[in-house]
Amino acid sequence: MRELIKEKILVDLPFNYVGKYVHKGEEVNIIAEGDDVIFLGEVKWSNNVDANELVVKMRRIMAKINDKGKKEYYGAFAKSFRRCE
């Protein structure tokens, strides 16, 4: 999935870095950062995923790492979603 982000197939934003975020037991599958933008993405290869739980987690982490006021983007990828609001 990170390769699809790097190649700008899934998300077409100006990223300088694409990788995985791991810090003090918290993890996000995809972090992509550019000069003015930052993207966090979660990938769950399962059915009936609660997208709201993923977004709440990503927003909590984003609040810790986006100290420069970059434009924030989020993505959730799964086989299927049970709840998307």
6: Cα within 13 Å, side-chain hemisphere: 7
Q: What topology does CATH give the domain 2-83?
A: Trna Endonuclease; Chain: A, domain 1 (3.40.1350)
Those residues of the chain that have pLDDT short of 50 are none
pLDDT at 82: 84
pLDDT at 39: 93
Domain ranges across the chain:
2-83
